[in-house]
Homo-oligomer: A and B are copies of this chain.
Amino acid sequence: MNNKPITEFMSLEEFEKIKKFTKGKETPFLVINIEKIEKNYEELVKNLPYAKIYYAVKANPHPEVIKLLDKKGSNFDIATIYELDQLLDAGISPDRISYGNTIKKEKDIAYAYSKGIRLFATDSKSDLQKLSKNAPGSKVFFRILCETSGSDWPLSRKFGAHQDLIYKLILECKNLNLEPYGLSFHVGSQQRDIGQWDNAISQCKYLFDAVKKEGIKLKMINLGGGLPSRYIHHTLDVELYANEITRYLKEDFEGNGNGFPEIIIEPGRSLVGDAGVIISEIIMISKKSHMNQYKWVYLDIGKFGGLIETIDESIKYPIFTEKEKPHEKTKEIILAGPTCDSMDTLYENYKYSLPEDIKEGERVYILSTGAYTQTYSSTYFNGIPPLKVYILE
């Protein structure tokens, strides 16, 4: 895999353990290393000790993942009432859950409220009115639209609103029996430019100050997600991100009378991403013509089996073979999935390398696939069942 040794991503010991555990299991499947999530969680707590963690359930809702994070004392951010039901069924109390999706049906707000949810994200007048009617007295935080360039999986303009609108929404809370509690933003998933947090935090400060003049004291900033996981292209360590974010917060909120706000963070990818490995078999290796430069390598997993984040080759997973040796002789190839849809090609422009003597039937290990894979897999496209999951033992 492009001459990076596997040890940049996991220990040889872990790789051996995974190989041993998964031997004989029919591909494709995802294997999750719960210990790694625990380690990531503890590291995040250490680096941002003042932040309340709300795990973004959508990243990986596997019951064992939820169980671990429950045990560690994490809070949870949900996208839908289906996720809410899952958490409540797992015995998690509603005061540890925030409803972070700004797109909500009225009846879903009412349902969440009836179950005890009192913390909601919002970004529009319409949603605020629905909250007022169906979740009176709740705390609301307002999502501001911020710049997401620099991220591998940018979040564009779908969520959040501009400051002018957010300002008015905050003031409207007075008449709506809602508590304007704080602000949130999301700098884009797998964000490589730490400076984007600086910009977003400045925007928060501006709004904190503006509404203060109207007698409203916001208390919380939700830093969203965006902390990176480890894919092919190196990112800075979470510790560095944390230190910089802390510095931005201090600069804006300490020593100028604002006081340090309550901080929430919603990690998903950074907690579970590198805790998952998808194991797949090479179905076929072929050429299109005698003179083709690149062979096509077809795996038994593709875009519709869980690797949808390869769209536009956005997320580049580290991929290794069974007998991974550094510096072995490799060749650049084109990588594709198994379905009869040619959109189901994984990497054609960005060239992955595989050992020259790789053969059909051999396994590949697609690392850092713990987030946004299994639940993205299609229900039965081409008749293929959804991706299986195992917990590493």
B379 touches A375 (CB 8 A): yes
Task: Specify how many copies of this chain sit in the oligomer.
Answer: 2
A289 touches which one: B165, B339, B385 (CB < 8 A)?
B165
B342 touches A155 (CB 8 A): yes
A106 to B285, CA, bound (A): 13
A158 to B378, CA, bound (A): 20
Interface residues of A in 45-94 (CB under 8 A from B): 56-58, 61, 78-83, 85-86
Does A381 have its Cβ within 8 Å of any Cβ on chain B? yes
Complex interface: stretch among A6-14, A122-130, A190-198, A256-264: A122-130
Q: Mask for A77-116, Cβ within 8 A of B = 1, else 0?
A: 0111111011000000000000011111110000000000
B342 touches A79 (CB 8 A): no
Q: Mask for A189-212, Cβ within 8 A of B = 1, else 0?
A: 000000000000000000000000
Residues of the B chain whose Cβ atoms lie less than 8 Å from the Cβ of A377:
378-379
Does A242 have its Cβ within 8 Å of any Cβ on chain B? no
Interface residues of A in 280-309 (CB under 8 A from B): 281, 283-291, 296, 298, 300, 304, 308
A158 touches B336 (CB 8 A): yes
Does A232 have its Cβ within 8 Å of any Cβ on chain B? no
Residues of the B chain whose Cβ atoms lie less than 8 Å from the Cβ of A157:
288, 342
Query: A82-B382, A159-B340, A379-B386 known; 7 other A-B pairs, CB under 8 Å?
Result: A58-B383, A79-B339, A103-B338, A156-B342, A164-B290, A308-B378, A376-B379
